[in-house]
Amino acid sequence: MTTFSLWINGKAVSTANTFDVINPADKSVVAACPQASEQDLENAVAAAKEAFPAWAEKPWQERSDLMLKLADAVEANMVELSELLTKEQGKPQNGFADMGAGFETGGTLAWIRATAGLTLPVETIQEGDDLTIEVHRKPLGVVGSITPWNYPLLIGIWHIIPAMLAGNTVVMKPSSLTPLTTLRFAELANEILPAGVLNVVSGDGGIGRMITAHEDISKIVFTGSTPTGRHIMKSAAGNLKRLTLELGGNDAAIVLDDVDVASAVGKIFATAFINNGQTCAALKRLYVQDGVYDAICEGLTEIANSVITGNGMNPDSDFGPLQNPDQLQLVMDLAADAKERGARFLTGGEQTNTNGYYYPITLVADIKDGARLVDEEQFGPILPIIRFSDVEEAIVHANNSPNGLGGSVWSQDIERAREIASRLECGSVWINHHAVIQPHAPFGGIKQSGFGVEFSEAGLKEFTSIQTLHVYP
């Protein structure tokens, strides 16, 4: 069994205690993971704090070049990283529409390289004989990164690459459910980066709480649940940490009756069930107008009946298991509530394989707002399909959520779709697609889906403070 270590101040650190990481496909132990102690965390923060001045003083291009070397290291180890992802997270190596572990490692590679090309030049907002005013961007110091279990490597990269590029040092804590790929990446990264720039500590939620409260950490970037985001806000108040919080989503899609059904159903299916539905910006509530409701249901059912759910290491598997038993139980509870309300199950609805945390692709029709499956984020392979007649009513229902991460409108009338999209209360809106993100397009939520943005120059700025320089001759 492979041995994993913490990474503190450029060195592998073993721990007195470990915990098991479970393969969700068969409930076997993938590896023993190091459990960081409070002292380990203190050492990691101290190392990051000590490394910060020299790292921040490095020329921007030198930091960018080191980020590109990290991308080269990922590329050279993609097979190993992809297999480790499948074993600890469950997603297939290839998967439906090639959006499995290979998609995550490939996205990691692309995101590092795209982010490494960003810059934050000095902005001159006034220039004259009497006064010059410049806006400079300065790194913050030590950044704490806390990542989730659904995309452990890719989301980690979203956090740490812009942070380090901007001149910050990092203390990172991966989810205790999926820490192994991150620890392996940290090993590769610490062969490239100066000691103390990237420190990774694994452990339970107690380590995360210590990070969010630590006085020497200047910013927290967190992706995860809304309740945890609230706790982080409270904990971070001690030294007024800056925060980027990407929290839960319950994305609504509005399908109009002029949609090209044949073109839409494949995209709807793929973006609802990407990563087995365990994606924050996946399509999670499907509102379909009367005229195409039956056709959309039939098209989605046909695809659902053609896919295979199984062990992610099996090349025939389109979808793997859910990542953990708690998530499986939530999906089963939401399905049970829908059945009690008389909803019509087009596919799935019953667990048939108990060797791992499996649940089949499940489509639920004839369901309404008020059902748990519609009102709550399911984060799994079950999709409610809600019929509507009046577009205004659909917009009200789409916006009637505490979340506001993403949304979409599906129609052949692009101008009409634009008008409806502009009225959706969410941070990202797609027309005739969903959940497609790009490294040059800002991404973030509103309402209880969090605040702050990731990606692009806007996301890079989140890891800096502004210093306005006034120059009088």
Position 444 in a domain: no
Position 61 in a domain: yes
Phi, then psi, of 141 in degrees rounded to 5 = 135, -125
Please indicate, yes or no, whether residues 39 and 105 belong to a single structural domain of this protein: yes
Position 1 in a domain: no
Q: What is the CATH number of the domain that holds 242?
A: 3.40.605.10
Total domains in the chain come to 2
Q: Which residue type is seen at 357? A: Y
For position 160, what pLDDT does the model report?
A: 98
Range of the domain at 395: 251-439
Please indicate, yes or no, whether residues 222 and 262 belong to a single structural domain of this protein: no
* Catalytic residue flag (residue 280): yes
Distance CA 358, CA 381 (A): 10
Please indicate, yes or no, whether residues 340 and 281 belong to a single structural domain of this protein: yes
**Catalytic choice (280, 426, 454, 462):** 280
Position 164 in a domain: yes
For position 360, what pLDDT does the model report?
A: 98
Please indicate, yes or no, whether residues 115 and 238 belong to a single structural domain of this protein: yes
Please indicate, yes or no, whether residues 240 and 367 belong to a single structural domain of this protein: no
Please indicate, yes or no, whether residues 189 and 302 belong to a single structural domain of this protein: no
For position 1, what pLDDT does the model report?
A: 64
**Catalytic choice (88, 246, 377, 462):** 246
For position 254, what pLDDT does the model report?
A: 99
Please indicate, yes or no, whether residues 409 and 433 belong to a single structural domain of this protein: yes
Please indicate, yes or no, whether residues 168 and 227 belong to a single structural domain of this protein: yes
Please indicate, yes or no, whether residues 369 and 382 belong to a single structural domain of this protein: yes
Residues with pLDDT less than 50, the chain: none
Position 390 in a domain: yes
* Catalytic residue flag (residue 246): yes
Please indicate, yes or no, whether residues 398 and 467 belong to a single structural domain of this protein: no
Decide: 148 and 88 in contact? Cβ < 8 Å: no
Position 53 in a domain: yes
Please indicate, yes or no, whether residues 228 and 324 belong to a single structural domain of this protein: no
For position 286, what pLDDT does the model report?
A: 99
Please indicate, yes or no, whether residues 356 and 412 belong to a single structural domain of this protein: yes
